[in-house]
Chains A and B, each alone.
Chain A
Amino acid sequence: MINASLKDLATALGARQISSVELTQLLLDRIARHNPEINAYITLDAEKSLAQAAAADVLIAQGKAGPLTGIPFAQKDIFCAKGWRTTCGSKMLENFVAPYDAHIISQFDAAGAVNLGKTNMDEFAMGSSNETSYFGKVQNPWDRARVPGGSSGGSAAAVAARLAPAATGTDTGGSIRQPASLCGLSGLKPTYGVCSRYGMIAFASSLDQAGPMAKSAEDLALMMNVMAGFDSRDSTSLQREKEDYTRNLNKPLAGLRIGLPKEYFAEGLDAGVAQVVLDAIAQYRKLGTETVEISLPNTQLSIPVYYVLAPAEASSNLSRYDGVRYGHRAAEYTDLMGMYCKTRAEGFGAEVKRRIMVGTYVLSAGYYDAYYLKAQQLRRLIAQDFEQAFKQCDVIMGPAAPGTAFKTGEKTDDPVAMYLEDLYTIAVNLAGLPGMSVPAGFSNGLPVGLQIIGNYFSEARMLNVGHAYQQVTDWHTQMPKGIE
């Protein structure tokens, strides 16, 4: 049961082989057993989860169940969920109980799904290892001494350790795809604007996008059917016809042109990871696809551009955490400025402070043109790279991360080394494109993800590409040891 697909779970629930309450309890028991070590969840509320499960069981009994009804999902703690503590991995929001639901949360609720708990994450989604969380680091279930990746590290570890059938994540520069890669999961960052950002705590608004993390592409497709869609409360949400993301899953891949960016196989890529990725591409050739070498010449610029734009937006987005209305407030202060300074010095961790300072700097009078404006111009160039590339191919493939899961603490003192973790993922966010990672094998016993990048709104096709691969491989069904 713990390794079952969403479809199988729905079938089991429908056939009354198990009730939603039983399934939820089973997972809560597993969480109680493993979470003290893995630390994938920040907040659990068995009472609420079981109440939702009981309600789902009624729907199932009434024959009103949808594809996800009664299935428990772990929710990244970046999504406001009414009545749930919502921390965003920060001391600043340690005691913040959200009074409203994020769009994504209400979509899952409307589908009859169960909220299993709020998962750990890098503080305000700033990090690639989940080590910046105020609520402690998260273990990678494949090797407990290693990081799960980030910022959706809790969601990745929860699904990898089978402490949730699937989870939500958010991806600003790779925060779904990199942890999916490091934990052996499938993860999809949709086209910017496909999933509403309403109620999703902002890091960098022009880059943030919610997406599903699960075992298989098929599971991702089922979740996308719930998560995607227009929401008038988010001005950047796209008004599009509702689509069925499962519709293309079983299409043949023959004739598919796969672009391989030479920049993604250059210096900086771990040899073991490169081998796994090349093997996966070889597998794709067997499915009747073609490969073409392409170039994304501005790839190297994506990290500096990102680390100007994302901190700039973050420095402004995080200004609301001032201790005035909610969240942490320093216990003692003598004046207003003192309250601001102490509150924010105490409430934010080092990485968040670093980015607020960088962001404040690049927006300052006299530096704006040289940094922020320049970065915006380069952002367009990076997007044009992809535009050119998609004239030659249908999807782009490469590694999702430059290496496998690294040791906890290995990169904490070197922010730049940490930032390079997102070398292959960041450009996708800058261009607003959809990107996906699927398990493609192992290097030294650690999972490696294959990244699939599609053109705007080609999620259904990308899921088809991932699903076809998963019909002929079993990497996605493998489980780490020690999670029984």
Chain B
Amino acid sequence: MQWEVVIGLETHTQLQTRTKIFSGASTAFGAEPNTQADAVSIALPGVLPVLNREAVQCAIRFGLAIDAEIGRRSVFARKNYFYPDLPKGYQISQYELPVVGKGKLTIQVGDTEKTIRITRAHLEEDAGKSLHGDFHGMTGIDLNRAGTPLLEIVTEPDMRSAAEAVAYAKKLHELVQWIGICDGNMQEGSFRCDVNVSVRPKGSDKLGTRREIKNLNSFRFMQQAIEYETRWQIETLEDGGTIHQATVLFDPDTGETRAMRSKEEANDYRYFPDPDLLPLVISEADIAAVKAHMPELPEAMKARFEQEYGLTAYDAVSITSSRGIADYFVSSVTAFGGEAKLVANWVMGSVAAKLNEAGQDIVDSPVSPAQLAGLLKRTADNTISGKMAKEVFEAMWAGEGDADSIIEQRGLKQVSDSGAIEAIVDEVLAANATMVAEYKAGKEKAFNGLVGQCMKASKGKANPTQVNEILKKKLA
């Protein structure tokens, strides 16, 4: 039988607010345990939540970015369950009325575009952390993270392969950083994905029973986990077994998923509206205020780059794949003033390769846009050749300074003085009588050999085009 996998994602994004969603405690990562746990974070008797408006603005920003309905009146609800790192015994979340309604995100897999429907996004608070390793036979509780604002983004089951799911997750990951609501740090847990996976016979319109893979914190693991889970489900069904709804964890060491708890043991969360918080009312003016500070979105920027700079669709997608790259590109183009296509080639080529090699983000690039532009100016005015440009770039990367000073110091200036080049050519012709003879006998290859000799004699500084021309003239 032919099988089809059906995938939906729930993503928890930590919002980049300075303080927690319901208190004034700091949200900075990495502090000593419980040093950022105020009375509200600890849930002392008598404390009350007060909503952080900054978190609401982040939610609106996201809603605008995915072209979603913004809930004009959304309600905070309590999700009740006991766990040691959940201080109140309930999580404040949104249930029936979320702040962001239906929206969409377009992804690209290979050459095809696909629109993933987003069901909703709602505000909620993060829990603390249970530390199982450090205390003999006991569990430590760190409540620094408790109350960190989260936006949980839920999709429809629209993805049909691990590749699509990963493409969606990556696109979302870029988007939340692009609009500045999440730092995207997956290692620190700022962006965590739960993936719902089910399989069904191809052509069926009924959904199979799903299993939820929890807390995937890298795209590579996500890909592996979905692929394993899909295979496992298909094999189970083909062996005559049934799939039970369950929450599963992915073990990166074995590459397998295993059930954490079954549906039977699942909690009844007893959601009800939180009486400590008034319904969140968002006005037209609130939305307008967020809109006014909204950065240009990747899709719009891509279209503009194609038009304004004449980039190909492929280049435009690459250049707008992150805000950092786009900013770098625009700054370089502006400083350069020349052909944007050239800039794009450098950004996607040498710059990307070096960054990749060093594992660095473009904002930390040792070569600034101004430096890159400086280099491109020198290739544009023929001061140096393309080959030399590579050398100068390497030197800039190594911190040797700007293009001009490197060219000066290393004496890389291209020789374009035709008299000087003629002298070199004469010298080479005199010293290589054999090659000249070969060429005259019809061996075209010998010409290239002569060019090489000229370049060598000029220590690579001669303008290759001029060398070509003069050689041809003299051999004619």
Interface size class of B (residues with CB under 8 A): 20 to 34
B residues 200-230 in Cβ contact with A at 8 Å: none
With beta carbons under 8 angstroms apart, the residue of A201, A206, A324, A326 that contacts B275 is A206
- Cα–Cα distance between A102 and B39 once the two chains are bound (Å): 12
User: B330 → chain A, closest Cβ, in Å?
Assistant: 42
What chain B residues lie within 8 Å of A102 (beta carbons)? 46
Query: Which of B76-84, B97-105, B236-244 is found at the contact surface with chain A?
Result: B76-84
User: A307 → chain B, closest Cβ, in Å?
Assistant: 16
Known contacts A201-B46, A235-B49; A363 and B84 CB within 8 A of each other: no
What chain A residues lie within 8 Å of B275 (beta carbons)? 204-206, 236, 313
With beta carbons under 8 angstroms apart, the residue of A93, A100, A199, A316 that contacts B78 is A316
Taking a contact as CB atoms under 8 Å apart, the answer to whether A325 and B48 are in contact is: no
What chain A residues lie within 8 Å of B268 (beta carbons)? 364-365
Taking a contact as CB atoms under 8 Å apart, the answer to whether B90 and A319 are in contact is: yes
Taking a contact as CB atoms under 8 Å apart, the answer to whether B48 and A234 are in contact is: yes
Taking a contact as CB atoms under 8 Å apart, the answer to whether A320 and B39 are in contact is: no
- Any B CB within 8 A of the CB of A233: yes
| B 125-156 binary contact with A (CB < 8 Å = 1; else 0) | 00000000000000001000000000000000
In addition to A199-B46, A340-B82, 8 A-B residue pairs with Cβ atoms within 8 Å of each other are A96-B45, A100-B39, A198-B47, A199-B47, A202-B45, A319-B90, A336-B84, A364-B270
- Any B CB within 8 A of the CB of A146: no
Taking a contact as CB atoms under 8 Å apart, the answer to whether B278 and A236 are in contact is: yes
User: A369 → chain B, closest Cβ, in Å?
Assistant: 12
| Nearest neighbor of B39 in chain A, beta-carbon distance | A100
| Nearest neighbor of B78 in chain A, beta-carbon distance | A316
- Any B CB within 8 A of the CB of A84: no
User: A14 → chain B, closest Cβ, in Å?
Assistant: 34
Counting chain B CB atoms within 10 Å of each CB, which of A198, A322, A372 scores highest? A322
- Enumerate 27 A-B pairs (CB-CB under 8 Å) in ascending A order: A88-B45, A96-B45, A98-B44, A98-B46, A100-B44, A197-B46, A198-B48, A199-B46, A202-B45, A204-B275, A233-B50, A235-B49, A236-B275, A236-B278, A313-B275, A315-B80, A316-B90, A318-B89, A320-B87, A322-B89, A324-B141, A336-B84, A363-B271, A364-B268, A364-B270, A368-B270, A372-B272
| Nearest neighbor of A202 in chain B, beta-carbon distance | B46
- Cα–Cα distance between A318 and B51 once the two chains are bound (Å): 21
- Any A CB within 8 A of the CB of B424: no
What chain A residues lie within 8 Å of B278 (beta carbons)? 235-236
| A 170-210 binary contact with B (CB < 8 Å = 1; else 0) | 00000000000000000000000000011111101110000
Taking a contact as CB atoms under 8 Å apart, the answer to whether A235 and B272 are in contact is: no
- Any B CB within 8 A of the CB of A409: no
| A 335-366 binary contact with B (CB < 8 Å = 1; else 0) | 01000100000000000000000001001110
- Any B CB within 8 A of the CB of A161: no
Taking a contact as CB atoms under 8 Å apart, the answer to whether B277 and A235 are in contact is: yes
The 8 lowest CB-CB distance pairs between A and B, nearest first, are A319-B89, A206-B275, A363-B270, A205-B275, A199-B46, A201-B45, A320-B43, A80-B46
- Cα–Cα distance between A140 and B457 once the two chains are bound (Å): 114
- Any A CB within 8 A of the CB of B12: no
Taking a contact as CB atoms under 8 Å apart, the answer to whether B90 and A368 are in contact is: no
User: B42 → chain A, closest Cβ, in Å?
Assistant: 6
- Cα–Cα distance between A204 and B43 once the two chains are bound (Å): 16
With beta carbons under 8 angstroms apart, the residue of B44, B78, B80, B84 that contacts A326 is B44
Known contacts A236-B276, A316-B78; A198 and B46 CB within 8 A of each other: yes
- Cα–Cα distance between A336 and B47 once the two chains are bound (Å): 25
Counting chain A CB atoms within 10 Å of each CB, which of B48, B49, B78, B82 scores highest? B48
Taking a contact as CB atoms under 8 Å apart, the answer to whether A363 and B80 are in contact is: yes
Known contacts A198-B47, A199-B46, A340-B82; A99 and B39 CB within 8 A of each other: yes
| Nearest neighbor of A309 in chain B, beta-carbon distance | B275
- Any B CB within 8 A of the CB of A69: no
A residues 289-347 in Cβ contact with B at 8 Å: 312-313, 315-316, 318-320, 322, 324-326, 336, 340
- Cα–Cα distance between A326 and B87 once the two chains are bound (Å): 11
User: B100 → chain A, closest Cβ, in Å?
Assistant: 21
| A 367-394 binary contact with B (CB < 8 Å = 1; else 0) | 0100010000000000000000000000
- Any B CB within 8 A of the CB of A95: no
What chain A residues lie within 8 Å of B82 (beta carbons)? 319, 322, 340
- Any B CB within 8 A of the CB of A232: yes
Taking a contact as CB atoms under 8 Å apart, the answer to whether B89 and A320 are in contact is: yes
User: B270 → chain A, closest Cβ, in Å?
Assistant: 4
With beta carbons under 8 angstroms apart, the residue of B44, B46, B84 that contacts A324 is B84
What chain A residues lie within 8 Å of B78 (beta carbons)? 316
| B 267-304 binary contact with A (CB < 8 Å = 1; else 0) | 01011100111100000000000000000000000000
- Cα–Cα distance between A204 and B276 once the two chains are bound (Å): 10
- Any B CB within 8 A of the CB of A168: no
- Cα–Cα distance between A365 and B43 once the two chains are bound (Å): 26
- Cα–Cα distance between A324 and B82 once the two chains are bound (Å): 11
Counting chain B CB atoms within 10 Å of each CB, which of A200, A322, A324 scores highest? A324
User: B452 → chain A, closest Cβ, in Å?
Assistant: 77
Give the number of residue pairs across the A-B interface with Cβ within 8 Å: 95
- Any A CB within 8 A of the CB of B117: no
- Any B CB within 8 A of the CB of A115: no
With beta carbons under 8 angstroms apart, the residue of B45, B47, B80 that contacts A86 is B45
Known contacts A199-B47, A202-B46, A236-B276; A316 and B89 CB within 8 A of each other: yes
Taking a contact as CB atoms under 8 Å apart, the answer to whether A312 and B272 are in contact is: yes
- Any A CB within 8 A of the CB of B88: yes
What chain B residues lie within 8 Å of A324 (beta carbons)? 84, 87, 141
What chain B residues lie within 8 Å of A86 (beta carbons)? 45
- Cα–Cα distance between A372 and B51 once the two chains are bound (Å): 25
User: B142 → chain A, closest Cβ, in Å?
Assistant: 12
User: A391 → chain B, closest Cβ, in Å?
Assistant: 27
Taking a contact as CB atoms under 8 Å apart, the answer to whether B46 and A235 are in contact is: no
- Cα–Cα distance between A449 and B268 once the two chains are bound (Å): 44
What chain A residues lie within 8 Å of B89 (beta carbons)? 316, 318-320, 322
With beta carbons under 8 angstroms apart, the residue of B46, B51, B90 that contacts A200 is B46
| Nearest neighbor of B51 in chain A, beta-carbon distance | A235
| Nearest neighbor of B139 in chain A, beta-carbon distance | A336
Taking a contact as CB atoms under 8 Å apart, the answer to whether B45 and A360 are in contact is: no
What chain B residues lie within 8 Å of A206 (beta carbons)? 275
| B 30-63 binary contact with A (CB < 8 Å = 1; else 0) | 0000000001001111111111000000000000
- Cα–Cα distance between A3 and B46 once the two chains are bound (Å): 33
What chain A residues lie within 8 Å of B49 (beta carbons)? 235
What chain A residues lie within 8 Å of B90 (beta carbons)? 316, 319
A residues 32-83 in Cβ contact with B at 8 Å: 79-80
| Nearest neighbor of B50 in chain A, beta-carbon distance | A235
B residues 177-208 in Cβ contact with A at 8 Å: none
- Cα–Cα distance between A364 and B271 once the two chains are bound (Å): 8
Taking a contact as CB atoms under 8 Å apart, the answer to whether B88 and A319 are in contact is: yes
With beta carbons under 8 angstroms apart, the residue of A80, A99, A205, A319 that contacts B276 is A205
User: B434 → chain A, closest Cβ, in Å?
Assistant: 89
What chain A residues lie within 8 Å of B87 (beta carbons)? 320, 324-325
- Cα–Cα distance between A199 and B141 once the two chains are bound (Å): 24
User: B131 → chain A, closest Cβ, in Å?
Assistant: 13
- Cα–Cα distance between A481 and B113 once the two chains are bound (Å): 88
What chain B residues lie within 8 Å of A363 (beta carbons)? 80, 270-272
